[in-house]
Amino acid sequence: METTEQIKEMVRQKYSEIALHDKDDNQASCCGASCCSIETANIMTDDYSTLEGYNPDADLGLGCGLPTQFAQIKPGNTVIDLGSGAGNDCFIARKEVGESGRVIGIDFTPAMIEKARANVDKLGYNNVEFRQGDIEKMPVTANIADVIVSNCVLNLVPNKQGVFQEIHRVLKPGGHFSISDIVLVGELPEKIQQAAEMYAGCVAGAIQKSEYLDLIETTGFTGITLQKEKPIIVPDDVLAQYLSTEEITQFKQSGTGIYSVTVFAQKPATAKSCCGPDCCQ
C-alpha cells in the first residue's frame, strides 16, 4: 500500500503532465487516466463555456461539477479555490467578486501554478493570485475567506479530514464552501473498481458518500446541503474488459455506484467556546 507521500507524489507527477496538454487531450484521457472507451464524451466534466468569466485557456477539462455556479459568491468576497489547476474556477469566481473582491488559487503542482500565472498575466487581473501549497496546510491565514470552492480535488487527497479542518480554519465565521467531488455509494466490487479507475483516475481516492458528509459535519460545519448529484456511468465497453455480461447486469441492478456531488456547508458565525484539538487551529 502506498504511503500518503507516495500518493501525493503520484498525483503531483500526473498533474504536471496534464498541465502540458490542452482540454481535448485531457478529456480524452478521462481525468488523466488511461481511457479506451469508444464513448468520446467525458461524462465527468460539466460545461463551463456559458458562464461569465470563462477563459478557454484555463479549462483543462478536469472537473466533475460547477461549484462556482452554486457557491453564492457576492461582489467584494474573498474566494479561495482548492486545487486551482490552470485557473478555470478562479476566473469564473473573479467575475462574481468584481474589482472589489479577491480570488486566491492554491495548487501543489508547480507546472499548474506556472500555467495559471501565465493565464492571469494574459488577462491582466490584479485581484487574482495563485499560491503553491498543500491544501492540507494552506498558505493563507485563518478567517480570511468568505467562500471556498473546489472541483474534483479532495478525492485525490489521502487526508480528507485534514482538508476539511483547514477549510474550517481559513473560512471567516459565517463563511461557506461549495465543493464538487467524486463519492461512492455502496461497496464497489474489485473488478468494478479496476474498471472505474481505468476510465477515470479520479475515482481511485473516492470514499463513501455517507463518510464524506460525516467528515463535513464532525469538522463543525452546519447547513450541509447536497446542491447537485449525478451518477458517473462507466461505459459498457470498459466494463466488458473486466466483467462478464452477467456481472455487468448484476452491477447495474445492485444500487451501488460512483457519483459526482456538489456539497455546500457553512462555518458557524459564532464559534464554540472549545471544539477540541482536532478542529480548532
Instruction: Give the tens place of pLDDT for each residue, 202-232.
Output: 676 889 999 999 999 999 999 999 999 998 8
Residue 273 lies in a domain: no
pLDDT of residue 281: 43
C-alpha R_g of the chain: 18
Residue 196 lies in a domain: yes
Residue 280 lies in a domain: no
Strands 145-151 vs 171-185: parallel, antiparallel or unpaired: parallel
Of 186, 192, 193, residue with least CA distance to 210: 186
Residue 12 lies in a domain: yes
**What is the mean pLDDT of the segment spanning 78-107?**
96
Task: Kindly report the average pLDDT of the chain as a whole number.
Answer: 82
Residue 275 lies in a domain: no
Residue 139 lies in a domain: yes
Q: How far apart are CA 263 and CA 227, in angstroms?
A: 6
Work out how many domains the chain is built from and give that number. Answer: 1
**Does the pTM exceed 0.85?**
no
Residue 141, Ramachandran bin (φ over 0: left; ψ between -120 and 50: alpha; else beta)? beta
Helices 88-97 and 110-123 cross at an angle (nearest 10°) of 40
Give the CATH number for residue 249.
Answer: 3.40.50.150
56 is in which domain, residue-wise?
4-266
Residue 178 lies in a domain: yes
Residue 249 lies in a domain: yes
Strands 257-266 vs 222-232: parallel, antiparallel or unpaired: antiparallel
What is the b/e burial string over 220-241, where b = at least 16 CB atoms within 10 angstroms of the residue's CB?
bbeeeeebbeeebebbeebbee
Which residue did the predictor score with more confidence, 98 or 31?
A: 98
